[in-house]
Structure 1
Amino acid sequence: MKNSTKKPSFGVALLIVTFLFVIIIAQVLVAGSPDIHLTLVFSITFAVLLLMMTGTKWSVVEEGIMHGCKIATVPMLILMFIGMLIPALIASGTIPALIYYGLKMINPSVFLLTTALICAVSSVCTGSSYTTGGTFGVAFMGISVGLGIPPALTAGAVISGAVIGDKLSPLSDSTNLAAGVCETNLFAHIKSMLYTTIPAFIISLIIYTVLGMRYSADSIDTTAVDAILKGIVDNFNVSPLYTLISLIPLAAVVFMAVKKVSALAAMIIAAIIAMVIAMIMQGYSILEMMSFMNYGFTIDTGVADVDKLLNRGGIQAMMWTVSLGYLGLSYGGILEITGTLESLINKMESLTKNARNLIITHIFSSILVNIISASQYVAIIIPGRMYLPAYKKIGIRTDVASRTCEDSGTVTSPLVPWGLCGVFFTGTLGVNTMEYLPFAFLCYLTPVVAVIYALTGKFIWKESVTELKEKAAV
């Protein structure tokens, strides 16, 4: 992966990153919401021109683009297949049933709390925030409309719950990656993360509970809810028996996740199961289902709110997000392969002489890498490997290093508009990243808790004399 040309200087690397931030801020101030696609195109162009002017060969730039696209391919395929799964789940009655019973059973005052908790359980079981967002997340977004709860607030609760699995599930790819990068036992890594993740999640749940108190049964527009319920009942079978049948695709996803089946395969299999159920139970033809899964589910129920909830999904609907993912990862790949990221992080090595400074530097480095690389994987790998020797040098246990990778690299990924998680949740939940960002409390409370521990020295464990002797013997 490493190129043989001279790495860019810190000044060049800083100028490249500064250009990205300046153009984003300028577009936000002028347009209110930046066209992220063109922002990245302009930023890539500026970076490439500057790098080539300072000695980087085009072949290295091209290698970086291919490297970024390779990282993006599997997540983007998952995103496309979730686009295919969502209309299949709607046609089979899965999502309509979840919305129907959610509106009937969930009290608005505890809706946000319930959303975060259920998404947390789902993501821990599946090890995937993507799976949770594409199934339960979509259903909760629909329920929130009927309850009169802002979509951005609901999206924040979905993401806070979904990210838990990316951190704490032994089935999660980022959890395994962080443990591997920092040479830590997987379950020691998970145990270490409990100390930062659980307090942050509890605080998030408290905030969701307080915010949810603003909504009650009295605040619901019962006329609108009744219309939604009638629209669903008139067009879908929501009897208890049929509802159980419609939940089979979700059960299949959980089962395949536990069995460590590829996420790509899980999405396709679940979509096919939902398609078969829709054809048998709802009477759709295979041609209709193929159209739904490609272009999105369409239905005219006569109730505008129901049509808005259910007319969605499809592979083509995800292509805006997929193109953004490829652009973001291409930009990140160029900066990684050309050594631009390394030049930035090397400058920070002087700040790693004690545990407090090391952990805080690691956290901010990972967040910075996440922003400019658009990938939580890169944000875990580069700072993790860069700072691991410093942890060992001052005798800090490696599970603290791996925990820090996730406390900064994993949880902040949904907050980056052009990052893998950011583009996924925007495309799946239908809420812009900048809209849900203030409400995804877990995503920025976790790094805050980690910084507090670093400042106070709490739960920053030193290696025992026995452990040090054993490693020295090896």
Structure 2
Amino acid sequence: MVRPREEFIMENNEQNFQPKTWVSFVIMAFLVAAMCSAIFLTGQQLHITMLTCMGFCILMLVLTGCPYSKIEEAIISSGNLTIPTLIILYTIGAVMGSWIASGTVPMIIYWGLKLINPGLFLATACIACMITSLATGSSWSTIGTVGVALMGVGMGLDMNPAMTAGAIVSGAAFGDKMSPMSDTTNVAPAVAGADLFDHIKAMLTTGGPAIVIALVGFTVLGFSHSGDANSETIAQILESLESIFQLNLTTLIPVILVLVLAIKKFPAFPTLLISALVAAALAILVQGQSIPGIMSIMENGFVSDTGFYDIDKLLSRGGMFSMHYTASLTVIVMAFGGILEKCGVLDEILSKMRGLTRTVGTMVATTVVIEILLNLVTASQYMTIILGGKLMMPVYKEKDMLPQCLSRTLEDSGTVTSLLIPWNLCGAFASAALGVGCFTYLPFALFNWICPLIAVVWGFLGLFQWKTGQKPSKKTYRPVDSEAPVSK
């Protein structure tokens, strides 16, 4: 049976649905108002707020002609990113529990308290997380393992928890964005059409100065706020750890294993899973845990009973179930972000912002603002980098920039600011793992806000903004010997 021509026209119109500009602005205004209310009035009830925003968005789209089938497709397609994220998230929960039970985290706390100068602690914590994240290519793995241990060291040294968390997040973010094994470090050049290692070299021009400034800042903060923990208090903490755990070199095997597997370029999931299983074996063989006991710890988390409230609070964590808050938020925000992307809610707003790019400086600044905006509304650094890259690539091509200029700016703003937003997946995870709110550690996450500022400054000064032929590059937007005019 031949279908009527009107059906084909209707289906085509449904597939090509584009919301009107006023609809997009109303949805965004509602989102901003709702999130501000959640943060400042209701104590960050993020789940119900994001669910309400998604419901309002769906209602507006359906009332203005968007077929519900398209909305459903958008939600389903978001699962391609959501499911791998959830698997990693729950695995990190198991790693946290097993690392504590095996004595790995207590061992790091123990020797950190013994060896680290309080004044240099923040800078040392930043460097330790930077190295770990650079090796593993994952800020999440770093924050959930070494970061948790360093929070314990900072607590023992009577350091401000927000400062400690800021140093951890800064180091983890820098290492993640500079690692060739990081997801975002591969996604950004792929979207922008740049070579991976040209991209990493380009990031040194902004990330390098930013991390140096951050380390200087952490050193100053460390010596200014090194706390007043005395040797007696530290000795009591060390004694408590010794009484609960067998602290020997075997407890560091999970750390070494993660670094070795990362260097061998194992994917994140098997690396984390192997580390968790090895730590579980150590918990049984070294710490005397039973098999049912360690399985319960990997699911429900470790419960500490040292007699020190702060130590017990820090070590009583981990387990897959501890990730339910972040995991459930992940499902909601990824579905909402998928709707915003697939249904074109952001297209008109972002296109108008792209019109501001008259000079190289405004081009870079607009890219940074768009990336931060996307991090706020999509809550996913992956969506942020992909959408921002697709949107801004024509501008960089028009100005004949090298593709690594775009990919660098995508990471300078999209990757690092995701850790500063409470409802973003990265910010939600870091806050849950470290036990410090995003807005609490934000002022001390020096690298994460200095890096995008440097990117904008370099853009307006014209520094490290390369056009085709000005710098050797494996990939360009046009042949180097092309006669195509260069846009000023």
On whether the aligned pair clears a TM of 0.5, the verdict is yes
Name the structure 2 match of 1:227.
236
Name the structure 1 match of 2:124.
114
Structure 1 contact 107–216 (Cα < 8 Å) conserved: no
Match of 1:30 among 15, 35, 41: 41
Q: Equivalents in 2 of 1:185, 1:24: separation in Å?
A: 38
Name the structure 2 match of 1:383.
388
1:344-392 Cα shifts (integer Å, max 9, x gaps): 2112232223312221111111111111001111111111122112211
Match of 1:416 among 410, 418, 421: 421
Output the TM-score relative to the length of structure 2.
Answer: 0.92
Name the structure 1 match of 2:167.
157
Name the structure 2 match of 1:169.
179
**TM superposition shift of 1:427:** 1.9
Flag structure 2 segments of 5+ consecutive residues without an equivalent.
1-12
Q: Equivalents in 1 of 2:32, 2:191: separation in Å?
A: 29
Match of 1:85 among 80, 90, 95: 95
- 1:255 maps to amino acid: V
- Is 2:117 the partner of 1:102? no
Q: Equivalents in 1 of 2:129, 2:378: separation in Å?
A: 27
1:288-321 Cα shifts (integer Å, max 9, x gaps): 0011111111232333333222211111111011
Q: Equivalents in 1 of 2:312, 2:481: separation in Å?
A: 62
Structure 2 contact 326–425 (Cα < 8 Å) conserved: no
**How do 1:38-437 and structure 2 match up within 5 A?**
38-216=48-226, 219-238=228-247, 242=248, 244-437=249-442
Secondary structure of the 1:220 match is coil
Q: Equivalents in 2 of 1:29, 1:411: separation in Å?
A: 24
Match of 1:10 among 12, 15, 21: 21
Secondary structure of the 1:247 match is helix
Q: Equivalents in 1 of 2:151, 2:73: separation in Å?
A: 40
Structure 2 contact 468–480 (Cα < 8 Å) conserved: no
Q: Equivalents in 1 of 2:388, 2:14: separation in Å?
A: 19
**TM superposition shift of 1:88:** 0.7
Cα distance change, pair 224–3 in 1 and its aligned pair in 2 (3 A)? farther
Deviates more, 1:174-183 or 1:337-346: 337-346
**TM superposition shift of 1:441:** 1.3
Q: Equivalents in 2 of 1:347, 1:305: separation in Å?
A: 50
Flag structure 1 segments of 5+ consecutive residues without an equivalent.
none
User: How many residues align structurally?
Assistant: 467
Output the TM-score relative to the length of structure 1.
Answer: 0.95
The runs of 4+ residues in structure 1 deviating greater than 6 Å are none
- 1:54 maps to amino acid: T
- 2:44 maps to amino acid: P
Structure 1 contact 355–396 (Cα < 8 Å) conserved: no
Structure 1 contact 228–305 (Cα < 8 Å) conserved: no
Structure 1 contact 10–347 (Cα < 8 Å) conserved: no
1:254-303 Cα shifts (integer Å, max 9, x gaps): 12212222211111110000011111111111000011111111232333
Structure 1 contact 362–383 (Cα < 8 Å) conserved: yes
Secondary structure of the 1:124 match is helix
- 2:152 maps to amino acid: G
Q: Equivalents in 2 of 1:383, 1:303: separation in Å?
A: 47
**TM superposition shift of 1:216:** 4.3
Structure 1 contact 148–221 (Cα < 8 Å) conserved: no
Secondary structure of the 1:425 match is helix
- Is 2:440 the partner of 1:440? no
Identity of aligned residues (%): 40
